[in-house]
Amino acid sequence: MEQDNYIGKVTRVRGSVVDISFKDRLPPLHSVLYAGINSNVIIEVLLQLDAHQVRGVALTPTQGLARGMRVKHPEKSLEVPVGDNTLSRMFDVFGKAIDGLPEPKDVAWRPVLQDPPSLASRTNRSEIFETGIKTIDVLMPLERGGKAGLFGGAGVGKTVLLTEMIHHLVGKSKGVSIFCGIGERCREGEELYREMKAAGVLPGMVLVFGQMNEPPGNRFRVGHAALTMAEYFRDDQNKDVLLLIDNVFRFIQAGMEVSGLMGQMPSRMGYQPTLSTELSKLQERISSTDKGAITSIQAVYVPADDLTDPSAVHTFSHLSASIVLSRKRAGEGLFPAIDPLHSASKMCNPEIIGKRHYQLAQEIRKNLAQYEDLKDIIAMLGTEQLSPEDRKTVNRARRLERFLTQPFFTTEVFSGIPGKVTPLEETLNGFERILNDEFADVPENHLYMIGGINEAMDKEKEKPNNSSEEGSLYEA
């Protein structure tokens, strides 16, 4: 008789929102219900309307669902598989394999909704997470066990930069890497899987995808599903985990859709009133403990390139490093199109990165900021009207800008330039030599799209007749 109480029936279907009535006891919030002809419609309970009715959001399409259909409640919430056998596999939000291979065996299943680690179990160590990308390592170093955000509008290179980081980090990382695609295009998932397989790094990775054609409830839970898998490797296996999320805005957008479907009044700029809480529940689970660390790199789409948008503002507050991508720099061909003046990291501190590194980073920013201030004068009057000191600054800053560029492995097919990884010490030496004006007479295009500074010297030797007056790739 107890079991009968947990069999309900559909009373109303409105898009992805489904109302279900039960005879006696209601299922708890966040329970999973199964409806439809073959129990193929999965619903998550989000609201208890009264003593006999609940309202849920479907995590799968609701085609074929009708009033009066029976609903089963297996007395559990949404779960995903965890274990070593999940490595090198690709899953959806329900923990089903979507890579065309058989379902993994000998795995445990855990609920996707978990509490964040307690304050007592967290660690406060500060350690640099080297990426091999010059701009990031020098000007906005990432924190091991921290959260870094890649902010940018459409088409400025967020996914390319994230994929490049996977190439650099997954191969040398001794831990586990988890890629979480929230609202991604299906071709992006397929390309990433193929590229990781070809690079030989798939055995240490787990991929979790919720594609953009899935219902909002599905996309809203993909991040939690990936985090549950990451927490298993951190807490049970004491491993360091690299969690890559693409992208956080789609998570916020899915929450906005769910909120609208549930009838909540929208808040500022149409976002859900619970935006801050929902984002915090996801971000607070990404942390370092005394057992292991979850280092997260997250792409964040910025609507209309507006960094004051609530989605960007609320995400900023959770991060230890913010990498802002500039459409202007992308238009000038300066890739990666990272804006060095708007990007920042709390790790850029002399006590953490050392006095020499800190002073070099400050000097680079100072030169680039002065060049930015002089651009209006150059546009109106030309460089001839500048003082000799300002001319030196412009000359130095333009070489710094070009040395900040780097060829990527991800873009080799399109650019024809082989990808480069540059060790931090070599990069610091290069910037130090540019700041000391050792390259004042070297054509600035020799510093464009290279790895270490010695490559510029090699180019100079190959073309001894070049002079500093030779036209550069992009004029001011």
Dump the DSSP string for 442-462: S-GGGGTT-SSTHHHHHHHHH
Tens digit of pLDDT for each residue in 414-433?
A: 889 999 999 999 999 999 99
Q: CA 361, CA 428: separation in Å to the nearest integer? A: 9
398 belongs to the catalytic site: no
Q: CA 265, CA 247: separation in Å to the nearest integer? A: 25
25 belongs to the catalytic site: no
Contact by Cβ (8 Å): 71, 40:
no
Q: CA 313, CA 10: separation in Å to the nearest integer? A: 40
* pLDDT in the model for residue 473: 41
Contact by Cβ (8 Å): 236, 289:
no
In this structure, the number of other CB atoms found within 10 A of the CB of residue 352 comes to 16
Type of residue at 466? N
Instruction: Classify strands 147-152 and 294-301 as parallel, antiparallel or unpaired.
Output: parallel
Q: Which stretches of the chain score pLDDT less than 70?
A: 1-5, 171-173, 464-476
DSSP 3-state of 369: helix
Dihedral sign of CA atoms 305, 308, 309, 311 in order: positive
Contacts of 244 (CB under 8 A, 6+ apart): 162, 165, 166, 177, 178, 179, 180, 296, 297, 298
Give CA separation, 449 vs 76, 147, 339, in Å: 53, 28, 17
Which tokens is 290 given? 């005394």
**Which of 23, 67, 185, 375 is the catalytic position?**
185
Which residue carries 């333009």 as its tokens?
398
Contact by Cβ (8 Å): 473, 448:
yes
Q: Quick one: DSSP state of residue 36?
A: S
The three-point CA angle 143-146-152 to 5° equals: 90
**Which of 143, 164, 184, 257 is the catalytic position?**
184
Q: CA 273, CA 270: separation in Å to the nearest integer? A: 9
Helix (H) or strand (E) holding 398: helix 388-403
Q: CA 473, CA 476: separation in Å to the nearest integer? A: 10
Q: CA 295, CA 165: separation in Å to the nearest integer? A: 12
What is the Cβ-side half-sphere exposure of residue 241, based on CA atoms within 13 angstroms? 33
User: Cα-Cα-Cα-Cα dihedral of 157, 158, 162, 165, to 10°?
Assistant: 50
* pLDDT in the model for residue 173: 66
Checking 123-126 for CB contacts under 8 A at 24+ apart, the result is 123/288, 123/289, 123/290, 123/293, 125/288, 126/347, 126/352
70 belongs to the catalytic site: no
Contacts of 301 (CB under 8 A, 6+ apart): 152, 153, 154, 158, 247, 249, 250
Q: CA 82, CA 92: separation in Å to the nearest integer? A: 13
Q: CA 186, CA 370: separation in Å to the nearest integer? A: 44
**Which of 158, 221, 396, 398 is the catalytic position?**
158
Strands in 241-246's sheet, in edge-to-edge order, are 89-91, 205-211, 176-184, 241-246, 294-301, 147-152, 321-324, 344-345
Contact by Cβ (8 Å): 326, 396:
no
Q: CA 70, CA 33: separation in Å to the nearest integer? A: 10
The model's pTM is 0.90
In this structure, the number of other CB atoms found within 10 A of the CB of residue 411 comes to 17
Burial of 323 per CB tally in 10 Å (0-12, 13-18, 19+): buried
